[in-house]
Structures are given as structure tokens and as C-alpha cells.
Amino acid sequence: MRSTPSFPFRVLTHNIRYATSSPFRGERPWAERRQLMLNELQYNTRASIDAFICLQEVLHNQLVDLLEGLNPGVDPEWAYIGVGRDDGHQAGEYAPILYRPSAWTLQRWETVWLSETPTKPSKSWDAASIRIVTIGLFTSLRSGNTVLAMNTHLDDQGSRARLEAARIIRFKIQEYQDGQLGGLISGTFLAGDLNSEEYQEAYSNLTGPGDMVDTYKMVEPCKQYGNVNTFTGFGYEKEPSKRIDYVLLAPGGNQTWQVDGYSVLANRFDDGVMNSDHRAVVADLALRG
């Protein structure tokens, strides 16, 4: 299938805060946040059939809740790839990628553990938690473009673990580009919570010379909307707000990236309930021949 000269689609990434039984001060339980999160996801993907939703800190019961809410009818609209990081099945946090099968054909997917043993549940270096990257190769039914999609959540404690994770992600991108299907890849994106500000190890490694590009920096201010910081906390943490959630783009595909819009959405409205301690990042992308 030949790709079209221009192919726009949307990527939304959000750390939704796992459904804890011991909420922070200011945090509301998942049961009160669930519908707010669904409203956000439904509204911001309704007009983009080709949208990807990349989420972090998702426990299995939250994934079930979201899929039930997104798929109210008999025929499911949304599917997902991903596993729980603790056992490779349903235990622990997922970093799922949600997509519409009516828009994308899934060619292959995998979960890679960001450790010295990347094929099995594990952690290494100074990581406080097991960490993963979810990788999917998708071909658009509408345009024929093939996209390498990646979603991750790096460690919040280990500086070396974040650096080594960034190196693993870069290696995987190169592996796919050099692989059997590499010639089909139109473009690659990485979404997620890097737990790294611009001056820190993971972001600096991923966006080094010739490597990934930050969508925030690819779009002129007149095409940006909303906030800048993506981590807010629930209002009582000592940690300041900061930008640690990203949509990054990799060169090396058979088409070039263009960013047509970028937004950091609000995570609290008039009701005062924060749907997460992070804000969602939305990037409107286009692949051009």
C-alpha cells in the first residue's frame, strides 16, 4: 500500500496516577477520577480517528475501566497493546498504547524491560521500580503509512536507570529501522513520562545531536495551547511543577515530521477534582513525503 503525501494524526499521552489505596493529601480515589479521565480521552480523540492514546501508571482494573468506558457498544472501538510490568501479564503498572483497529493494522508489538535483562520482568542499576517501554508497529488503513509507536514511564528515583533506559530506547529505535520492516517505517514517536527535565540525563540523551526532537520545540507559539508544566502534584507536595512528560519524534523514517499543534491540557476544572497529578500532553502530527 502506498502512503499519501500528507498524513495527520494525534498523539495524547497522560500519566493517569495509579489507583492507590492510600491517596495523597488532595488526591481523590480512582472511582471519582475515572469519569473525568474518560471525558478527557473521549473529547480529545473524537475528531481524530487515527489518534493514539499513550498512558502511564495504569493498573489492570483502571485499564478495564477505561476500555469499558471507551467501548460502550457491542463492537469495540478501541483496542490496546501492553502488559503489567511486574509479571508481563496483569500485575503492576501498564504503559499501554490505545488505538482504533478501524484506523490501524497492528503489525507487531512487544514490551521491553528497561534493565540489563530486557526480555523479562526486571530492574537494574539504581531503579526503584520495574520500568518498561511498550512498542507497536502500526500501518494506517487510510493512508498506508507505517508508524513505530513507543510509550514509556522512566524511573523516578534512579538517575543512572533513566540514562540506561534512554539508551535502550534509542537502541530499539535503531533496531526497528535497520530490521526487516524498517523500510516501511514512515516515522517514529516516543510518548511518556520521562521523569527528566530538559537539563537531565534521559531527555538530554534522547534529544542529543541527530536523535529525537521535542514536539514542544517544533511548533511555533501561535500553535501551542494550554500549560507548559506537565507534573503538578495534587497541591500539597513540596515538589514544584515541572515539564517531564513528552512526545518526542525520531528521524530516520521515509517521510518527515511536522507538528501542527501542541497542548498541555488542564487537569482540574470547576469541581476542583484533579484527574491526575500530571497533565496530558497532546501533539498533532503530520507525516509528509
Query: Which value, to the nearest 10 degrees, does the dihedral of the CA atoms of residues 196, 200, 202, 203 take?
Result: 80
The C-alpha atoms of residue 186 and residue 255 are separated, in whole angstroms, by 5
> What parts of the chain have a pLDDT lower than 70?
1-5
Q: How far apart are CA 160 and CA 105, in angstroms?
A: 36
Q: Which structural domain range is residue 91 located in? A: 6-288
Cα(80)–Cα(76) distance, integer angstroms = 11
Residue 265 lies in a domain: yes
- Residue the block writes with cell 503489567: 84
How do beta strands 97-99 and 52-56 pair? antiparallel
Task: Decide if 237 is inside a domain.
Answer: yes
- Confidence (pLDDT) at 2: 47
The domain that holds 266 is classified in CATH as: 3.60.10.10
Predicted local confidence at residue 131, as pLDDT: 99
Residue 119's pLDDT is 98
Average pLDDT taken over every residue of the chain: 96
Residue 31 falls inside a structural domain: yes
The answer to whether residue 1 sits within a structural domain is no
Is residue 131, in this structure, part of any structural domain at all? yes
Q: Determine the pLDDT at residue 218.
A: 96
**Pairwise CA distance, residues 7 & 27, whole Å:** 39
Q: What pLDDT is stored for residue 5 in this prediction? A: 67
pLDDT at residue 234, rounded to an integer: 97
How far, in Å, CA of 60 to CA of 124, rounded?
A: 24
- Please provide residue 236's backbone torsions phi and psi, each rounded to the nearest 5 degrees: -125, 0
Contact 16, 276 (CB under 8 A): yes
**pLDDT score at 263:** 98
Write down the pLDDT at residue 209. 75
How many domains, in total, are found in the chain? 1
Type and span of the H or E element at 286: strand 281-288
Per the domain annotation, does 264 fall within a domain?
A: yes
